Amino acid sequence: MSALEGISKISRIALLIAGLIILTFFAIQTCIVVGVCEPSYFLNITMENAEQYLAVVAVMLLDGFFEIIKGVKTEGFQTRKALKVIQTIFAWVCILTVILIIERGFSGTGWLSETIITPFIVFQLLSALKNASLAGFIKNELLNEILDKFDKHKGKRNEKLTKQN
């Protein structure tokens, strides 16, 4: 049984393109580390803020992983949803890059990345928890307990009322 069995031709092409992008990135990074290529402006921004980039990508991959598994369980694997994860990661990496360029270019704007990216990370983590629950990795009771602790100011949810709805 092949790993690509049952995947459409377009999906195979998309996977090939994604693989080529990853290999290209790896080759460029290797050349820079070995000293064959000089680092660029964007590489300097990326390396100086690697933790922020890693946080954005890790949260998106976590949420995407659970979302894809939830989708497989409910409606079967859909390539467009898997590619949507990559598209969203790319978009947020671009947004983070622009924010970091602004922070570097203008003094007094060092707060931008924390102000814009932190709420995004919190919402994506909550989405990952919900998707993990819907995929069967987290019990609903535990998710409700986590959400109740997150929103303590709203009070505890009434289990009888929740079950009736």
> Which pLDDT score is estimated for 71?
80
Average pLDDT over residues 116-124: 90
Q: Which two tokens stand for residue 78?
A: 């859909």
Residues ≥6 apart with Cβ < 8 Å to 126 = 147, 150
Residue-wise pLDDT tens digits, 26-84 = 777 787 777 776 767 777 888 888 889 889 989 998 988 888 888 878 777 777 777 88
Instruction: In whole angstroms, give the CA distance from residue 137 to residue 146.
Output: 14
Task: Tell me if 57 sits within 8 A of 93, measured CB to CB.
Answer: yes
Residue-wise pLDDT tens digits, 101-112 = 899 889 888 898
Average pLDDT over residues 17-24: 79
